[in-house]
């Protein structure tokens, strides 16, 4: 009897001490971070953010953009955050893509629960001092919401509120829980009670359940709390943020109200407009990114399925409506940048052979089989076998009659794999990103856009292409080599 009690007590001690060591690590972290008393936090600093999905080739890191100053204002009680970034860009963009801008650019981003929005510039006719407009950004909500819960204080608060499980990992403690019943969060707390690393995943239409990993270092005293002075966040393996924190304010007023227009926002239905450029050649517009649908003897060739599955599905449907009773046999991807590649898995599910520059083969093979459990797409359900056809620097698709030439732009710093599409008989050139004619004909380009226009113009000359119509994959109109030549030669002088 006596030994039985002793054993039972021993077992109990082992069990609770095992639990308490790891729950204890969470409590130590909570104490050092001041989790119980911190309701709101303002963090300021500087560093860089990076244009995710816009690398020069599919194996390069994301292009770096200087962040002169950032301020994050967080309210943990309401699950809301305001992030202001002051970004700067010189006359030359870093190698790779990203929306061109020049000089200083202020971005103000908000999240509150499931709502996300950006502060937009007031319209040109707004009265002086008019309140800034809120531009709904629903697609950004998961990323921003998870960024809030991935901060060290957010992570520990989240762990305590969501019944986290803890596990010893050498001298460290691994903590995991789920946010919103959907998003898995994992973190590591070291022996000093510092949150070292937080891992989470959100849906990305191309790479699927995308790993976002934030590493915190340089812990020091900020207003009596032990907080990191440096954070690096990677997305899909490459840095997306690299920020050094210079100051922290504890419990400032952070009142973030969801604007009415954000709360009531209904995304517009995907709209595809078509313009016949030649017999059997259609320019598909109506959104931010355009495509081409080209009729061949017994099939259809589509160039670019951009943005996401909704747009890609609509583009493919429009192609079949304009060119009835023929299957879409080939989908050409102009280049690997995520905005233009967003619907590539939809094209794969369609059964089309994906035509791409040879440098993208390994990346697209990964894309074809990457898990999409957070937001399953068409390919995740159909699990279709994927066909990829690579081309070198010059390629050709033909049915014996119509010829579609593919040419890789050389000396083009926006991306190393840009295939422009040239129809020699129709004298049509399809090109994304290199030259987007300004809304007003003859208006000069901003300086960072000029080298791209010049590269396109140089390549047209190098290849001796006889282009009558340029169909850009952005903007609101087709253009000509004459306009391109002029834009390539004359940067804005400001």
User: What span, in angstroms and rounded, lies between the C-alpha atoms of 316 and 274?
Assistant: 12
At closest approach, how far in Å is the CB of 367 from Zn ion?
A: 16
In the list 63, 97, 342, 395, the residue contacting Zn ion (rule: CB under 5 A) is 97
- Nearer to Zn ion by Cβ, of 34 and 97: the residue is 97
Among 32-40, 110-118, 350-358, 433-441, which window interacts with Zn ion (CB under 5 A)? 433-441
At closest approach, how far in Å is the CB of 119 from Zn ion?
A: 26
């019944």: which residue's tokens?
Answer: 163
Residue 53 CB neighbours (<10 A): 23
Burial class (CB in 10 A: 0-12, 13-18, 19+), 385: exposed
- Nearer to Zn ion by Cβ, of 81 and 487: the residue is 487
User: What span, in angstroms and rounded, lies between the C-alpha atoms of 188 and 366?
Assistant: 28
At closest approach, how far in Å is the CB of 386 from Zn ion?
A: 23
Q: What one-character DSSP code corresponds to residue 447?
A: G
At closest approach, how far in Å is the CB of 57 from Zn ion?
A: 12
Binding mask 182-221 for Zn ion (x = CB under 5 A): ----------------------------------------
Cβ proximity of 426 and 81 under 8 Å: no
Among 217-225, 374-382, 426-434, 463-471, which window interacts with Zn ion (CB under 5 A)? 426-434
At closest approach, how far in Å is the CB of 249 from Zn ion?
A: 39
- Nearer to Zn ion by Cβ, of 93 and 231: the residue is 93
Residue nearest to Zn ion (CB): 337
User: CA dihedral defined by 121, 54, 475, 281, rounded to 10 degrees?
Assistant: -160
User: What span, in angstroms and rounded, lies between the C-alpha atoms of 402 and 323?
Assistant: 15
- CA nearest to 344, candidates 368, 369, 314: 368
- CA distances 124 to 132, 137, 237, 262, Å, are 12, 21, 40, 21
At closest approach, how far in Å is the CB of 476 from Zn ion?
A: 18
- Nearer to Zn ion by Cβ, of 99 and 441: the residue is 99
Query: Looking only at residues 36 through 95 of this chain, which bind Zn ion when binding is defined by CB under 5 A?
Result: none
User: What span, in angstroms and rounded, lies between the C-alpha atoms of 319 and 304?
Assistant: 12
290 binds Zn ion, rule: CB under 5 A: no
- Nearer to Zn ion by Cβ, of 97 and 343: the residue is 97
- Nearer to Zn ion by Cβ, of 53 and 142: the residue is 53
- Nearer to Zn ion by Cβ, of 97 and 187: the residue is 97
9: its two tokens: 């007590």
At closest approach, how far in Å is the CB of 410 from Zn ion?
A: 16
Specify the length of the chain in residues: 494
In the list 174, 349, 433, 483, the residue contacting Zn ion (rule: CB under 5 A) is 433
- Nearer to Zn ion by Cβ, of 173 and 305: the residue is 305
- Nearer to Zn ion by Cβ, of 377 and 433: the residue is 433
Binding mask 306-345 for Zn ion (x = CB under 5 A): -------------------------------x--------
- CA distances 148 to 80, 316, 345, Å, are 8, 37, 30
Binding mask 216-255 for Zn ion (x = CB under 5 A): ----------------------------------------
Q: What one-character DSSP code corresponds to residue 479?
A: B
At closest approach, how far in Å is the CB of 55 from Zn ion?
A: 10
- Nearer to Zn ion by Cβ, of 436 and 478: the residue is 436
- CA distances 473 to 141, 307, 477, Å, are 27, 12, 9
Cβ proximity of 339 and 317 under 8 Å: no
At closest approach, how far in Å is the CB of 59 from Zn ion?
A: 16
- Nearer to Zn ion by Cβ, of 97 and 193: the residue is 97
12 phi-psi bin (left φ>0, alpha ψ -120 to 50, beta other): alpha
């921003």: which residue's tokens?
Answer: 144
At closest approach, how far in Å is the CB of 50 from Zn ion?
A: 15
- Nearer to Zn ion by Cβ, of 318 and 337: the residue is 337
At closest approach, how far in Å is the CB of 337 from Zn ion?
A: 3
Residues that bind Zn ion (rule: CB under 5 A) add up to a total of 3
At closest approach, how far in Å is the CB of 474 from Zn ion?
A: 9
Give DSSP secondary structure letters for 301-369.
EEE---SSHHHHHHHHHHHHHHSTT--EEEEE-S---HHHHTTHHHHHHTTPEEEEEGGGHHHHHHHHH
429: its two tokens: 């050139």
Element (H, E) at 111: strand 103-112
Residues near Zn ion, by CB under 5 A: 97, 337, 433
């Amino acid at each position: 009897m006596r030994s039985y009690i002793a054993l039972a007590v021993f077992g109990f001690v082992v069990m609770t001490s095992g639990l308490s060591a790891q729950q204890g690590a969470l409590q130590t972290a909570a104490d050092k971070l001041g989790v119980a008393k911190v309701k709101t936090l303002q963090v300021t600093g500087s560093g860089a953010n990076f244009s995710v999905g816009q690398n020069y080739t599919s194996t390069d890191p994301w292009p770096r953009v200087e962040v002169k100053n950032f301020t994050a204002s967080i309210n943990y009680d309401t699950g809301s955050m305001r992030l202001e970034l002051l970004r700067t860009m010189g006359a030359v963009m870093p190698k790779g893509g990203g929306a061109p801008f020049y000089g200083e650019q202020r971005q103000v981003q908000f999240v509150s629960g499931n709502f996300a929005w950006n502060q937009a510039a007031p319209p040109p006719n707004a009265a002086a001092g008019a309140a800034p407009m809120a531009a709904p950004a629903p697609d950004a909500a998961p990323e921003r919401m998870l960024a809030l819960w991935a901060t060290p204080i957010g992570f520990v608060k989240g762990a305590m509120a969501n019944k986290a499980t803890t596990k010893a990992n050498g001298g460290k403690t691994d903590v995991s829980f789920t946010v919103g019943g959907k998003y898995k969060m994992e973190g590591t707390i070291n022996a000093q009670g510092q949150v070292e690393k937080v891992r989470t995943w959100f849906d990305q239409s191309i790479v699927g359940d995308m790993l976002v990993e934030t590493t915190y270092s340089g812990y020091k005293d900020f207003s009596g709390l032990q907080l990191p002075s440096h954070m690096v966040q990677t997305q899909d393996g490459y840095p997306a943020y690299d920020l050094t924190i210079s100051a922290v304010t504890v419990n400032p007023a952070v009142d973030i109200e969801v604007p009415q227009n954000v709360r009531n926002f209904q995304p517009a239905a995907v709209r595809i407009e078509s313009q016949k450029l030649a017999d059997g050649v259609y320019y598909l517009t109506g959104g931010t990114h355009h495509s081409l649908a080209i009729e061949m003897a017994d099939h259809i060739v589509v160039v670019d399925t951009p943005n996401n599955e909704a747009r890609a599905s609509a583009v493919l449907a429009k192609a079949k409506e304009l060119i009835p009773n023929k299957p879409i046999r080939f989908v050409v991807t102009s280049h690997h940048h995520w905005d233009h590649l967003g619907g590539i898995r939809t094209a794969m599910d369609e059964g089309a052979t994906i035509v791409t520059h040879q440098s993208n083969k390994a990346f697209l093979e990964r894309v074809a089989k990457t898990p999409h459990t957070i937001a399953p797409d068409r390919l995740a359900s159909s699990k279709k076998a994927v066909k990829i056809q690579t081309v070198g620097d010059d390629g050709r698709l033909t049915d014996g009659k119509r010829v579609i030439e593919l040419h890789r732009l050389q000396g083009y710093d926006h991306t190393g794999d840009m295939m422009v599409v040239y129809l020699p008989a129709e004298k049509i050139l399809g090109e994304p990103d290199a030259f987007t004619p300004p809304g007003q004909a003859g208006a000069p380009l901003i300086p960072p856009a000029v080298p791209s226009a010049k590269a396109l113009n140089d390549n047209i000359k190098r290849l001796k292409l006889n282009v009558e119509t340029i169909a850009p994959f952005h903007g609101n109109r087709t253009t000509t080599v004459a306009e391109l030549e002029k834009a390539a030669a004359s940067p804005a002088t400001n």
